Chain A
Amino acid sequence: SQTIHQWPATLVQPVGSPLSLECTVEGTSNPNLYWYRQAAGRGLQLLFYSVGIGQISSEVPQNLSASRPQDRQFILSSKKLLLSDSGFYLCAWSGGQGDGYTFGSGTRLTVV
């Protein structure tokens, strides 16, 4: 069966520090991968999606970047965090068109 792993679960980082959040999927090949952010009291905002290795598309301009070095690995990064980067970050994967997403358990990032 397919599983998705996301870590760490919580993270407190100072302003200006780097960020690396990792997401891996098991039990499937060539998944579509996604990074979402959920700010306090708000809905989900799609940050990045990837349909294959090295293929990254960004939905909104921001201080973050994403990479997909392997088929089932998706990394969210920042060189210098801002206070506004605080939020709950969710990784997800999907198969074909019309499929729902399977979400990871999320990372609560607090930038102080």
Chain B
Amino acid sequence: GEDVEQSLFLSVREGDSSVINCTYTDSSSTYLYWYKQEPGAGLQLLTYIFSNMDMKQDQRLTVLLNKKDKHLSLRIADTQTGDSAIYFCAEGSGGYNKLIFGAGTRLAVHP
């Protein structure tokens, strides 16, 4: 079945760039998503990319999609302490708007 994989932890220094990586298995994915979960909260959509795009930029966020390798990345420029959270990669290809989520990457930003 479909699977989405991410590394579990990433630690970066404040002001540096963060890159969170994700791989997925379903080549029929229409959209790929990045969600952010702050402590004690639900998930919030950060950005998404349509499967026929290679890159999408939104302020400090850059999403890169390599369809051949089924690899998705999220780059956060000038990472701040407020970016500390869990980031989930998700792919959407099923009916009824179902999403398949990765395990989440916990980003820790230190001074």
A and B found bound together: no
